Structure 1
Amino acid sequence: MDPLPNDPAAPASAPPAAPPKAQRPPALWRNRDYRWWLSTDTSTGLGRALHNFAVPLLALYVTGDPAQAGIVAAIGQVGRLVATLPGGVLADRHDRRRLILLGTASGVLVATALAAFQYTGLLGFWLLTALNLLMNVRSGLFDGVPNAALKAVVEPRSLGSAMSANQGRDAVVSLAGGPVGGVLLVIGHAVPFAATALLNVFGLLSVLRVRADLRPRRDAADAAGATGPGGAGKPAGHDGGTSTTRAGYLREAWEGFAWLLHRPELRGVMAISTIVNLGMNAAVTSVVFGLQQRGESPATIGVATACVGVGMLAGAVLAPPLVRRVPTGWLGAVGLAACSGAVAVLPFVHTVPAICVVLGASMFAAPAINASLLGYFTVAVPTHLLGRANSALDLLAMGAVPLAPLVAGFGYAAWGWTGVLALCAGICGIAVVLAFCTRRLLAIPASDRWEDHAAANAREAALRR
């Protein structure tokens, strides 16, 4: 009730009410749904790390030939890429909780089959190739679904923190994957796959505890800000809307590509990601092949690859303040230069301790790069397009990755340690040059201005159409 005019305690005129302060989003670790989401994503990610570590070494044991081992890994990567676009469409059509359940259940089945066939001694080149292909197709279809669901689990203002935390999680997974995989291989060649099956069971149980609605809805912010093909005028239903249901898979998949192609600040990022992922993956795979061929034990190789996780974990500690304070574009470009510089040292080191140090250094900047660029990407993409846009970005960024084991296998056979790693360093160097020459990338600001920058680019994209 307003004070009476003759009330001596009342001021002559009431001052205008102060604008309410914007409420801070709840602390990330107090978000129950985020904790269970992270539990699901971590357990399945660790299972994937164990599988990816064990398969190349098991292929080397089965075939004795780095080139054939590279073929096994490359075929699996091609299968993952082929399945990525349908996976994005599924993530935008259907309940993402059910898709995660289906993905973890199928992971249990394939990993159990790998363990059983290896234990009975029936796992030869062709059977290993087929089962690894199945596991990678499963990854292409379902591994991107948790990322598409993240926006329903945390508030937009928490996405930068969530991405930084995820990078720390990825570092721990990478750190654990090598040593744990090496130890499990020493116990028995079937054991890493049995562990992968158990981890997928845990992921399945964890996602059941998430209370948030993970169905792909289109909210008001998306309706106002979506631009580009497929970005406007589509009502959303619980399974992606009736118009989505009627559209063909190819058309829906193309909407993710078209959205990316109409965003000028992201086009350069796609090309740079493709090149640097090829160089970095080929370098790590070359190190694994080289150490195995000179007779190092699986445990030693596991420790060496774990140093990738050590570098990422150290970098993840610095990622949150860097994402908040440093412009995203410059953070990405300078970080790429640091990663590529470390890879350029690899051809000249040969002892295991030196290799460990350089591998760790090569990944030190990766968490900040990934958290900033992926955080901006997640803010910019409309919720109803997240699955397809993520799958399009994955396909473009990882499109050359199937070449990595081939570069490593055939390159090591032809040029040895120094030659193949020098080639990998040269590939990474091309990405660095492109990053510093891409003005749109360098213009992306720090995280507190992501929404404004994304909105400005959305308006520009709309005017150009």
Structure 2
Amino acid sequence: MTTTPSPQLLPDRQEPPRRSKPLWRNRDYNILWISRSLTEVGFNASTMAFPLLVLAVTGSPGTAGLVQGVNAAAQLAAGLPAGTLVDRWNRKAVMLACEAVRTVALVWLVWMIWTDAVAVWHMAAVAAVLGVCSALFDPAEEASLPHVVPPDQLATAVSMNHARNSIGNLIGTSLSGALFGVKRVLPFVADALTHVVSFCMLLFVRLPKPARPEEGAPPANFRRETLEGLKWVWGHRLIRVTALCAIAVNFLFQVLYLVIIVVAQQGGVPAAQIGVMAAMFGAGGLLGALVAPRLYARCGPRLSVVLTFWVMAALAPVTLATGNGIVMGLVLAGIAFLAPTANTAISTYQLLTTPDRLRGRLSGVIGLVAGVSAALGPMIGGLLMEIAGARWAILLSTLGIAVLAVTVTLNPTLRSFATPDATQPTEDAPGPR
């Protein structure tokens, strides 16, 4: 005789896991993405216009470079403390304040240009303000990303942010010359308008408010909090190693880009083809960012990083065997293609592993060292060409990349490099040392 089990003994029905809605339907992420895309266009338009404006006012290339350097120096100087402040303050309020300050600074510069009263110190002051605002805005936005995007879509969101930056660069630099040719003030007007629109859009982004300090917690101490961020980055072995990989990739990009362009120029490649080479480099990065989510899903984090180094080592010497600008451009595009996948793997791991209260400081530390490496790249590339010549500079760069590729391939820490389990809560304690 068969008996029917009583209802209370029946196993509970398990509901199928809910699937995240597509990223293109994520309201808050789309607001962030579109607003930042607009400001990237404006930023690149004014960045290209700054040296043109300085040259028009002073006729001095050295002064033009100085004003550009003020922006980079301000961003680097503010990078580390900015990360600490972002972890203290309301991140949405930080982004809104940055957009408001940028708008005021640019409107003031526009007025100075319009009234023919603009001087070098006006431009340097605005460049410094924009640099400090970037140092605050960037970690605030990056630290906010895990709050608006589900963990399983974070890699896609990171790669789409890389694509956004490439699109802004391509459109902004293209518009800059045309706008400046019509009226000197127009690139800066465009930049100011993008920040006004961004400010209005960011008002509608939903982000959590910062947690209140626990009872009995020690009082806030800026120096201690900054050191805590540094210790986290250095104390977590895999974060430290992946950060060094990202810095190495971006540094070598800067070296190779400059050296290959000079090799093309010295080899008699026409200026028009050199311009096409630069465009192909940007297009390669943009295409790589668009396909990065699929490559990352197929290759996994470790292989994404290892492949980037080996492809760079394989492609760089090809430029020595050709004097054709289009072929060189294809090499640059190939070098740029895999970088977004490697950066996606590294950034996704870092954001998922780092506690929310430390994400601003993580971004500040990474941004600082990445900025230094980006500044040193062209400098080292130029020194290599001065000492050994452009062709030897490519060979030496390739040798250095190959050594790094072998090191990355054999590194025992990177063997455990995998996407962390996003369902598990992030611990505040440092990872394996």
State the TM-score bracket (shorter-chain normalisation).
Answer: 0.7 to 0.9
Residues 193-249 of structure 1 show CA distances to partners (whole Å, capped at 9, x for unaligned) of 222212111211110111x23423xxxxxxxxxxxxxxxxxxx31xx6688893222
Q: Which amino acid counterpart does residue 388 of structure 1 have in structure 2? A: R
Q: What is the match of residue 243 of structure 2?
A: 270
One-letter code aligned to 1:322: L
Pairing partner for 2:330 from 349, 353, 357:
357
Q: How far 1:455 sits from its partner (Å)?
A: 6.5
**Deviation for aligned residue 1:354:** 4.3
Q: Relative to structure 2, which stretch is displaced further, 396-405 or 28-37?
A: 396-405
Q: Counterparts of 2:146 and 2:345 in 1: how far apart (Å)?
A: 16
Q: Which amino acid aligns with 2:225?
A: E
AA partner of residue 329 (structure 1): R
Q: Alpha carbons of 1:64 and 1:375: their partners in 2 closer, same or farther (altered >3 Å)?
A: same
Q: CA deviation at 1:356?
A: 3.7
CA separation of 1:371/1:133 partners in 2, compared to 1, >3 Å: closer, same or farther?
A: same
* Structure 2 residue 337 is matched with structure 1 residue 388: no
Alignment pair present for 1:45 and 2:40: yes
Q: Alpha-carbon deviation of 1:146? A: 0.9
- The change in CA–CA distance for 1:32 and 1:456 in structure 2 (over 3 A counts) is closer
The change in CA–CA distance for 1:110 and 1:336 in structure 2 (over 3 A counts) is: farther
Aligned to 1:363, the other structure's residue is in SS state helix
Match of residue 213 from structure 1: 207
Q: Which residue of 2 aligns with 1:79?
A: 74
CA distance in 2, matches of 1:285, 1:72: 21
Identical aligned residues as a percent: 26
Which residue among 155, 160, 164 is the counterpart of 1:160? Answer: 155
Structure 2 residue 283 is matched with structure 1 residue 310: yes
Residue 166 of structure 2 corresponds to 171
Distance 1:63 1:425, change over 3 A: farther
Consecutive unaligned residues in structure 2, runs of 5 or more = none
Deviation at 1:152, TM superposition (A): 1.6
The 2-side partners of 1:419 and 1:242 are apart by 62
Q: Aligned partner of 1:310: which letter?
A: A
- Checking the alignment, whether the CA contact within 8 Å between 2:236 and 2:430 is kept in structure 1 is no
**Partner residue, 1:261:** 234
In structure 1, the partner of 2:341 is 368
Cα shift readout 1:9-59 (whole Å, capped 9, x = no counterpart): x94466423433222222222221111121222222333333444445666
Q: Is the 8 A contact 1:316 1:367 kept in 2?
A: yes
Distance 1:214 1:192 in 2: 35
Contact 1:346 1:358 (8 Å CA) reproduced: yes
Q: Where do residues 395-434 of structure 1 align in structure 2 (5 Å cutoff)?
A: 395-404=368-377, 406-407=379-380, 428=401, 431-434=404-407
Q: Is the 8 A contact 2:72 2:131 kept in 1?
A: yes
Instruction: Tell me the CA shift for residue 311 of structure 1.
Output: 0.9
Instruction: Name the CA distance, whole Å, in 1 between partners of 2:392 and 2:108.
Output: 38
Give the match's secondary structure for 1:398.
Answer: helix
What secondary structure sits across from 2:167 in the alignment?
helix
Residues 338 and 63 from structure 1, CA distance in 2 versus in 1: closer, same or farther, beyond 3 angstroms? farther
Structure 1: runs of 5 or more not aligned: 1-7, 217-235
Note closer, same or farther for the CA distance 1:363–1:101 as it changes in structure 2 (3 Å cut).
same
Aligned to 1:439: 412
Distance 1:321 1:172, change over 3 A: same
Whether 1:36 aligns to 2:31 is: yes
CA contact (8 A) 2:35 2:202 kept: yes
Q: CA deviation at 1:285?
A: 5.8
Q: Which moved more, 1:424-433 or 1:326-335?
A: 424-433
Distance across 1 between alignment mates of 2:125 and 2:264: 26
Q: 1:443 to 1:352 in 2, by over 3 A?
A: same
Matched residues in 2 for 1:133 and 1:282: separation?
A: 26
Contact 1:84-1:394 within 8 A present in 2 as well: yes
User: Is the Cα contact below 8 Å between 1:277 and 1:398 reproduced in 2?
Assistant: no
- Number of aligned residue pairs: give it: 429
1:326 aligns with 2:295: no
Q: CA deviation at 1:364?
A: 0.5
The AA in structure 1 aligned to 2:280 is C
Q: Greater shift after overlay, 411-420 or 91-100?
A: 411-420
Distance (Å, rounded) in 1 between the aligned partners of 2:112 and 2:397: 35
Would the alpha carbon gap of residues 97 and 456 (structure 1) be closer, same or farther in structure 2, given more than 3 Å must change? closer
Distance in structure 2 (CA, Å) of the matches to 1:33 and 1:46: 20
**Cα 1:149–1:80 shift into 2, 3 Å:** same
The aligned residue for residue 140 of structure 2 is 145
Task: For residue 118 of structure 1, report the CA deviation from its aligned partner.
Answer: 5.3
**Distance in 1 separating the partners of 2:215 and 2:183:** 50
TM-aligned CA distance change 1:387 to 1:457, over 3 Å: closer
Equivalent residue number for residue 223 of structure 1: none
Match of 1:4 in 2: none
How far off its partner does 1:428 sit?
5.0
Query: Structure 1 residues 40 and 300, CA, compared in 2 at 3 Å: closer, same or farther?
Result: farther
One-letter code aligned to 2:81: P
State the alpha-carbon separation in 2 of the partners of residues 455 and 424 from structure 1: 39
- Tell me the residue number matched to 1:201: 196
Farther-moved stretch of structure 1 (131-140 vs 397-406): 397-406
Deviations 1:339-360 (A, max 9, x none): 4544555577666544543332
CA 1:360 to 1:186, structure 2 compared with 1: closer, same or farther past 3 Å? farther
Question: What TM-score do you get using the length of structure 2 for normalisation?
Answer: 0.82
Q: Name the TM-score, length of structure 1 as normaliser.
A: 0.77
1:152-183 deviations in Å (ceiling 9; x for gaps): 21222321232233233233223323323343
Indicate whether 1:109 and 2:109 are aligned: no
Aligned to 1:233: none
